[in-house]
Amino acid sequence: AQSVTQLGSHVSVSEGALVLLRCNYSSSVPPYLFWYVQYPNQGLQLLLKYTSAATLVKGINGFEAEFKKSETSFHLTKPSAHMSDAAEYFCAVSWEAAGNKLTFGGGTRVLVKP
């Protein structure tokens, strides 16, 4: 069965440091991949998505992610963390056979230390 795994339920980074959030998927067919951010008491906001064009995808707020088929990964990075990046981040996938329903990972909560 297709699935999504986010390594690390909590990540703590210092302000100005690199943010790296890991996402791996399990699928026998090419997926479409998404990263969403959720701020406290809010819904989900799309950061970026991969749809089989360029493997390096740039999103909003300085985030980017790279699709690596050989590693079945879609890790999210930001070179320099800002206090406003403190939130929960979700990786999600959709597959052709599943229509456009999203399957989400368990989420990674990011804490930014001053």
Partner 1 sequence: DAGVTQSPTHLIKTRGQQVTLRCSPKSGHDTVSWYQQALGQGPQFIFQYYEEEERQRGNFPDRFSGHQFPNYSSELNVNALLLGDSALYLCASSEPSGRAKIADTQYFGPGTRLTVL
Least separation in angstroms between CB 16 and partner 1: 28
Q: What residues form DSSP beta bridges with 107? A: none
Q: Is 29 exposed, middle or buried (0-12, 13-18, 19+ CB in 10 A)?
A: exposed
Does residue 96 bind partner 1 (CB under 8 A)?
Answer: yes
By CB under 8 A, which span of 18-26, 34-42, 57-65, 66-74 interacts with partner 1? 34-42
Does residue 36 bind partner 1 (CB under 8 A)?
Answer: yes
Cα-based angle 14, 72, 20 (whole degrees, multiple of 5):
5
By CB under 8 A, which span of 12-20, 60-68, 72-80, 94-102 interacts with partner 1? 94-102
The CA distance from 36 to 49, in Å, is: 9
By CB under 8 A, which span of 11-19, 46-54, 56-64, 77-85 interacts with partner 1? 46-54
